[in-house]
Structure 1
Amino acid sequence: MSRIRLKQIANFKQLDKELFGSSLLRNTDVVAFDVFDTLLFRRCDADDVQLGVARALGHSLGNDESSDIAILRVREQAYFDAAAENEFKGFDKDAHLDDINLAWVKRLAPNEPGRWSDLAAVARESKIRYEHWACFPNPATVPILQRLAGTGKRAVFVSDMYLGEAIVSDLLTANGLRQFFSAGYVSGDIALTKSSGRLFQHVLEKEGIDGSRMLHIGDNPHADGRRAIEHGIKAIVVRERDIPLKRMRFDHNYALQDRRWLGYNAASFASAASLQQVEPELHTIGRDVLGPPFSAFIHGLAEYCMRIRPDAVYFLSREGLLLKDLYDQLIATLQLPLPSGGYLCTSRLNAAVAAMRSFGWREITLKLGSHNKPTVSSIFSPLGFSRDELASIAGKCGISDIDQKFIIDSPTIARLVAHPILQDRAIRLGQNARNALHEYLEKRGFFNARSVVLVDVGWAGQIQEGLKIALSDSPAPIINVYYLGANQLAGERRRSGLNIRAYLADMEQYDWLGSATFEFVELFEIPSRALHGTVLGHNQGEPLFASEDSAERTPEHSDEPRIALLQEGICEYMLHYARYAAITKTSADHAKTYAINIVARIVRFPRRSELFFFSSLNHIANFGSSEHLQLAKVSSILSGKKFLDAVNNSHWRQGAAALGLGRFGALLLSLFQAPRISRTLPSQIEEQRIHDGASIAAWNPFSPLPHGFETDVRNRSFVLLEQGREASLHKTYRSPLTPFELAMLHLGLRATNLYLSVKKLNQFPADLLPLRAWLWREIYIRLPVHGKFGRLLRRVKRWITA
């Protein structure tokens, strides 16, 4: 027995070699595995889960969140009560979940014995649900277990865990691992632990073998290593989880001090199973880069709806189909009493035509804002004239070329705008579009609502204004607008009476990080685009889409497999984000800080792979024309004029600058455009107060029925996903925001504000993640935390986090 030596290895990749590349299994009948941090990993710190249970129990008791920590401390006392009772009976100091929970609720509600059973059930159900959400299988053990099954060796699991064998088995089953094990032994059932060594003795007796015939694999040097060896059991301790566990411990503790850190923790929770895995790069970009801002936006929407209590929530095409799915996932996971989302098929073109009483200044300015180089033909394209018809009318007004530049104060243009044929067409088109729109909205239940929320990625409020004008002739519900971002034009429409709220970015509540949204709006428009054509109008209560072979739709086809992969990643992020938010009571504002840091990083300091991918996407104006918009033009820096022209003519100017000069070029561009932004910023306003909506008694929420085509679009997306996976590069995981990149954001803000101060302009605010805490975290996880050195580190930590 004394000849047995504890074998420690660095990671699970080495375990395969140790098991099957040596004689270790030759005289072994039973191979035992620890469960947590060996077979199963958690996405977050174990105390996140336990604190979440305390919150759920506190909610059932009617307490507010300020008592959560106190409730958790009571649970620690309850554990010692239950464990001490077992110890008094001659067992080890451990207890089962049910005994702990009963002792817990007795301490919390000593004078309410009638509630003990129900409260204990709340604690039990919350604990089990949260553990299922938090756990995922260690990917390295699956092939080992499969190979071990072929050797005929008996596999069992052995765990120091108060959950008990039945719950642990359910967790292993849910993660596809229980099938590999013949039996399981868990301390919570019998109050015998590995830490004391008595659980190993129990296992040997139940298995009917001598210790020399057993091999145990775990992660704890004491419980899984030394105690096993004391019983003659061969042991391998895998130390791979040391650093991840310390990282999660730091994140848990720091989030208790600074709730903004919860956004980062949510991102870590979502990507935890992807560490060291090879995945399609676009799926990773969708989950880790686009997932945080989209999820924070939808969470903000849900909180907004909980305040104003709309009867229905509609998501506008084409971005709305993805946003609707994200919203439905969130409210289901958080168990919010909100109506499911409805998909509303309309577009800028359709809303503009429906609002048209004539063709005048409003219609012209809407078109001017959607073209880089507006021409006579592009401005009048919503009226549906053929080129020959428009050329004939324009010729009578003195315009010889309908492809000439549109000059707004030209007398000939004024005559064309006033032409009776053109105005008659506008009146008829507007009336027909309004009638068709009204029929469609009636079929969607729109007019049954007292109040609705219209949700879109946002920017200027054009669609919502068009709908409001189009419906002004008849009774309609109160329209509230919720955007991811609202630009200056949206602010003007807000002041004219349109109720617009923006979550991540608002030019009237300027933030240097969130404003990056407006520097590359296609970052949100293209990845959220539904896989169908733009809405042209309605007929008999159904939407009419641009045909799949139209000039504006055809260029989009090549992007759709890649977009499907991005959307899959975004949806995966929301699934895990919603679960983490439910466990930790993360609010939208907690998540927003991390989200806008990610947005600013990718827009202003893109990585090469992101730069080439997003600049390769096709974007069409889709406002009565098929103009192709260049996202980021490539030009050689050897020709300064051509390079500057390419940057100025790109929709993503930082991207174009980075293509030529790298991240340094993108930083310079952000720096030099700051004075212009500062001078043109509208008056800043305080965040709008949200007024409570209808009382619960008067609230009549309903969930609009889905369109028939929505299922077809999703099925098509599943087919395109396979094409996207085959075409996408596969890479190992990389954090979407590294300490170096966060330092670049800090440097960019400091340089920008220094430059603005030199120009005697107002400086920009920014809700940056704390760099000092991030640096301390990286130090903490790599250095020992015990003894004199540990005390020194704790002093440094107090200084850094002060």
Structure 2
Amino acid sequence: MMVDLVRAKRLIEGADVVSFDIFDTLIRRKVDSPRDVFNLMKGAAHAISRGQVSDFRAARVLAEQNALSKAQETGIEEITFSQIYDELQTLTGIADVVKEAIQALEVETELRCVDVRVVGRDLLEFASRQRKKIVLVSDMYLPRDVILSLLERAGVRGFSTLYLSNELLKTKRLGDLFTHILNELSLKPSQVVHIGDNPRGDVSTPNTLGIETIHIPRSMVNFREASPFGKSIALAGRKHSSLTKSAVDALIADRFFDTRDKLTEEAFFRSDPFQFGYSALGPLLLGMSFWLYREAKADGIERLYFLSRDGAVMKSVFDALFPSDEYGIETDYLYCSRRVVRVPLMQNKFDLLQPVSKPIHKRTLGSWLEANYGVDPNQIDQALFHGRGFEGPDHFIDKDVDREALSSLVSDLHPILIEVATSERRTLEQYLAHKGVGEGRHAVVDIGYAGTMQEALSNILHKELKGYYLAVFGTSANVKNQLGLKGFLSQYGADDNPALGICTHRFVYESLVCSSEDSVLRIGRTDAGFKPVGLPSENDRERKSFVDYAHSGALSLAREYRATSPIPPEESVLSPEASSLIFDAYLRQPMAKDVALLYGVGFEDIYGLAHQRYLAVEPGLVNTVLPSQVIWKESLSVKAPVKTMTAKDAELAGKKALNTKDYPLAAANFRKAYDLLPSRPNYLRMVAEAHYSGGDKKSAINALNEFIKINPRNLRAKARKLVMTFPPLSKIIGSYEFNIR
């Protein structure tokens, strides 16, 4: 049910008296369910009673039920706090002093868990500004002094009278408490408006008495019932309930689901990257941090090195939960990547030839050499390329490249490549020494999956490092110290486990956990010290913008958990399944409007495909990209609102792809522009230029032929076709390249 705040304020303005429920209306508990308070007490109650109260929650619930049953036998529908504890004493046989101690513990725990509910407070303050008489009404067993303390702790003030069911032995749910208030204040039902969360006690019962009501469902109800997605994760979450999950869910619900509107029902994350980070990435990183602290502490680790770039947000969340001055584990951030360690470890011909046997996707030979060996292709003698049958660094290669010729070229470049590797290794060793890596009980932290960077660093340092990862797969058997790896979501499991989102959607995980920093190629050194040498990527703008907001959301959850949770971080446990529940559910069965969060977010891999890949693309652009360019396949099956694409939209998309050197995508978008607006045949010239820039001469000439058929008198297009067919002609007649402004 949506809260109509306009109607609510109108009803308040028209009333003489505004009545408020207390629990879950003006104040809330920092846990999912009121009975989670009893779970928080279990350990202490067991200790206070010296084991007589073996399961406090179960005993406390039964004591309340028994006390109420006995009261109802005498025609009374309400009970007191003391009656509940008298019944607990009867059930467990505890002494008076123990009973009083546990009773005091419950009050203390309630005070520790209480906070204000924002929507209720706002309506109370509005009523106060309207100079309305405000009364509070509650069906509650806690005594007056405790409830007043809870209200004070939450900052709730400005009411005139407090009506409690356990004092008057009348209840809201039966209506006699409302009747008592009307009589005491000499009011007609039409003069009162009541505000509360309970469908019976706060809505239907007062309505039958003629009292207008404003229903504000609990934030947890909104969280779980506002949308199909919320309902599905609520159902799945029942298997993984815990006190920590209760506290995390309460934070999410209270921050984003205090009220409910149409957007809440259509988009769980409300098209907000921050909310996505808080609600989906946040629990994942919290769960890993709780686990990481326990494991590192048990292993006696003194310092954790979080590896770039996945480690940036992991470190931020861990530091927020476990500051080193309080918890005794130091943390640092280490610039490292596959590329950073791969080149420095190359020491001989065998090492140099390893990349040749790996999969090769379409790209220029120069970019392949630069990515795998760190060498500047423009500094290589052109004769070396020609001698092995390659045109030069701009020669395109792919899976069908002549591997023998490529191996020969690498062998020819042996002295140059080893010189680069030696130089990079020297600088990397100095950087690691500067950071103090390996000078104590140290470990690395990263996303996963086989510990290759951990092993590489250990080899360079000649000292074994431990490693903690979001996931460790069975492929880690290939490293020499598999037992030095620990994984949170997976420990030596299969990397194709369909039950794990990090297996089924690994590239999405990597893209959204990875920070907005540029990919690190090597460590550089200047007079000012060490600095990472990155690989700027224009393709990564959308992703960088998204993850900056998402990571700030995850960090906010960590900070708020530490500041407000009734469970200390060091005692918090969030299972792998509970941690990844919302994130994985989003990846597998997203709501249509939530898919749009990842439109245009790119995936970067310097060793992968040459053309740009995306996590998701807008429905109107799906036909302009190759299937292999869309990573999140579920995004394609969701019927999202389709935005009508114009020729100008396609043209701009083509120019954007051209700027990022994604030539196939640029050509596809320019072709789409022409299909949408055939009266502008110059789009065909754009198609031709994009294909030609990408090395596809045949498609470029075909596009120009289409243009020339429409404009047979265009001499510049004919000249451009000649140059494309015989490139050396450009030195004689010029290039006649079409200028794509």
> Shorter-chain TM-score: which interval?
0.5 to 0.7
Q: 1:174 to 1:379 in 2, by over 3 A?
A: farther
Of 497, 516, 523 in structure 2, the residue corresponding to residue 537 of structure 1 is 523
Q: Indicate the residue corresponding to 2:553 in structure 1.
A: 569
Of 377, 390, 397 in structure 1, the residue corresponding to residue 380 of structure 2 is 390
Give the SS at the match of 2:46.
Answer: helix
Instruction: Give the deviation of 1:318 after TM superposition.
Output: 1.6
TM, length-normalised to structure 2: 0.65
Equivalence map 1:22-171=2 (5 Å):
24-25=14-15, 28=16, 30-40=17-27, 44-58=32-46, 67-73=55-61, 76=64, 93-95=79-81, 110=94, 122-132=105-115, 136-137=117-118, 139=119, 141=120, 144-163=123-142, 168=147
> 1-side partners of 2:345 and 2:510: how far apart?
24
Q: Indicate the residue corresponding to 1:421 in structure 2.
A: 415
Q: Indicate the residue corresponding to 1:324 in structure 2.
A: 315
> 2-side partners of 1:256 and 1:611: how far apart?
22
**Letter of the aligned partner of 2:80 in structure 1?**
D
> 2-side partners of 1:491 and 1:455: how far apart?
18
> 1-side partners of 2:460 and 2:466: how far apart?
16
Task: Describe the superposition over 1:435-454 as per-residue Cα deviations: whole angstroms up to 9, x where unpaired.
Answer: 32232321xxx44532x332
Give the SS at the match of 2:613.
Answer: coil
Instruction: Give the deviation of 1:467 after TM superposition.
Output: 0.9
Q: 1:387 to 1:484 in 2, by over 3 A?
A: same
Instruction: Give the deviation of 1:566 after TM superposition.
Output: 1.8
Instruction: Give the deviation of 1:121 after TM superposition.
Output: 5.7
> 1-side partners of 2:203 and 2:630: how far apart?
59
> 2-side partners of 1:170 and 1:490: how far apart?
55
Of 629, 635, 646 in structure 1, the residue corresponding to residue 626 of structure 2 is 646
Give the SS at the match of 2:117.
Answer: strand
Give the SS at the match of 1:155.
Answer: strand
> 1-side partners of 2:53 and 2:293: how far apart?
20
Give yes or no for contact 2:78–2:169 (8 Å, CA) kept in 1.
yes
> 1-side partners of 2:215 and 2:495: how far apart?
47
**Letter of the aligned partner of 1:50 in structure 2?**
F
Give yes or no for contact 1:269–1:576 (8 Å, CA) kept in 2.
no
Task: Describe the superposition over 1:245-271 as per-residue Cα deviations: whole angstroms up to 9, x where unpaired.
Answer: 699899999999844698986775344
Give the SS at the match of 2:446.
Answer: strand
Q: Indicate the residue corresponding to 1:272 in structure 2.
A: 253
Asked whether 1:492 is paired with 2:492, we answer no
Structure of higher RCO (CA pairs closer than 8 Å, 6+ residues apart): 1
Give the gaps of 5 or more residues in structure 1: 1-9, 665-802
Instruction: Give the deviation of 1:616 after TM superposition.
Output: 0.9
Give yes or no for contact 2:307–2:336 (8 Å, CA) kept in 1.
yes
Q: 1:574 to 1:354 in 2, by over 3 A?
A: same
Q: Indicate the residue corresponding to 1:715 in structure 2.
A: none
> 2-side partners of 1:389 and 1:73: how far apart?
78
> 1-side partners of 2:454 and 2:310: how far apart?
15
Q: 1:395 to 1:516 in 2, by over 3 A?
A: same
Of 464, 479, 502 in structure 1, the residue corresponding to residue 487 of structure 2 is 502
Give the SS at the match of 1:57.
Answer: helix
Give yes or no for contact 2:114–2:153 (8 Å, CA) kept in 1.
no
Q: 1:570 to 1:362 in 2, by over 3 A?
A: farther
Q: Indicate the residue corresponding to 2:342 in structure 1.
A: 352
Q: Indicate the residue corresponding to 1:528 in structure 2.
A: 513
Give the SS at the match of 2:435.
Answer: helix
Give yes or no for contact 2:244–2:573 (8 Å, CA) kept in 1.
no
Instruction: Give the deviation of 1:471 after TM superposition.
Output: 0.8
Equivalence map 1:170-185=2 (5 Å):
178-179=156-157, 181-183=158-160, 185=162
Q: 1:348 to 1:66 in 2, by over 3 A?
A: farther
In angstroms, what is the RMSD of aligned CA positions? 5.5
> 2-side partners of 1:37 and 1:382: how far apart?
59
> 1-side partners of 2:11 and 2:594: how far apart?
41
Give yes or no for contact 1:295–1:326 (8 Å, CA) kept in 2.
yes
Give yes or no for contact 1:54–1:72 (8 Å, CA) kept in 2.
no
Q: 1:34 to 1:348 in 2, by over 3 A?
A: same
Instruction: Give the deviation of 1:498 after TM superposition.
Output: 6.3
Equivalence map 1:705-784=2 (5 Å):
none
> 1-side partners of 2:280 and 2:233: how far apart?
22
Q: Indicate the residue corresponding to 2:365 in structure 1.
A: 375
Q: Indicate the residue corresponding to 2:469 in structure 1.
A: 483
Q: Indicate the residue corresponding to 2:686 in structure 1.
A: none
Give yes or no for contact 2:450–2:472 (8 Å, CA) kept in 1.
yes
Equivalence map 1:224-623=2 (5 Å):
235-238=211-214, 241=217, 258-259=239-240, 268-273=249-254, 274-275=256-257, 276-277=260-261, 279-305=270-296, 307-330=298-321, 339=329, 341-358=331-348, 360-361=350-351, 364-365=354-355, 368=358, 373=363, 375=365, 377-381=367-371, 383-392=373-382, 394-395=384-385, 398=388, 399-404=390-395, 405=397, 409-411=403-405, 413-414=407-408, 416-417=410-411, 419=413, 421-442=415-436, 446-450=437-441, 452-472=442-462, 476=463, 478-486=464-472, 489-493=475-479, 497=482, 499-505=484-490, 508-509=493-494, 512-535=497-520, 536-537=522-523, 539=525, 543-546=530-533, 552-572=536-556, 574=558, 582=567, 587-589=573-575, 591-592=576-577, 595=580, 598-599=583-584, 601-621=585-605
Q: 1:509 to 1:608 in 2, by over 3 A?
A: same
Q: Indicate the residue corresponding to 1:766 in structure 2.
A: none
Give yes or no for contact 2:79–2:141 (8 Å, CA) kept in 1.
no
> 1-side partners of 2:122 and 2:242: how far apart?
36
**Letter of the aligned partner of 1:592 in structure 2?**
E
> 1-side partners of 2:509 and 2:503: how far apart?
10
> 1-side partners of 2:421 and 2:176: how far apart?
88
Task: Describe the superposition over 1:473-500 as per-residue Cα deviations: whole angstroms up to 9, x where unpaired.
Answer: xxx4x5222222345644423x664633
> 2-side partners of 1:70 and 1:125: how far apart?
19
Of 599, 602, 614 in structure 2, the residue corresponding to residue 631 of structure 1 is 614
Give yes or no for contact 1:295–1:577 (8 Å, CA) kept in 2.
no
Q: 1:21 to 1:129 in 2, by over 3 A?
A: closer
Instruction: Give the deviation of 1:308 after TM superposition.
Output: 3.2
Task: Describe the superposition over 1:394-449 as per-residue Cα deviations: whole angstroms up to 9, x where unpaired.
Answer: 3486354234427584255345336453244145314422432232321xxx4453
**Letter of the aligned partner of 1:156 in structure 2?**
V
Give yes or no for contact 1:315–1:343 (8 Å, CA) kept in 2.
yes
Q: Indicate the residue corresponding to 2:672 in structure 1.
A: none
Task: Describe the superposition over 1:107-158 as per-residue Cα deviations: whole angstroms up to 9, x where unpaired.
Answer: 9794795x888766654433322333xx633x3x455434423332232333
Give yes or no for contact 1:356–1:430 (8 Å, CA) kept in 2.
no
Q: 1:104 to 1:246 in 2, by over 3 A?
A: farther
Q: 1:197 to 1:400 in 2, by over 3 A?
A: closer
Instruction: Tell me the matched-pair count.
Output: 610
Give the SS at the match of 1:621.
Answer: coil
> 2-side partners of 1:317 and 1:65: how far apart?
49
Q: Which has the larger radius of gyration?
A: 2
Identity %: 16
Give the gaps of 5 or more residues in structure 2: 226-230, 264-269, 641-741
Give yes or no for contact 1:154–1:182 (8 Å, CA) kept in 2.
yes
Q: 1:218 to 1:632 in 2, by over 3 A?
A: closer
Task: Describe the superposition over 1:279-317 as per-residue Cα deviations: whole angstroms up to 9, x where unpaired.
Answer: 443334334443444444444434433543422333212
**Letter of the aligned partner of 1:126 in structure 2?**
T
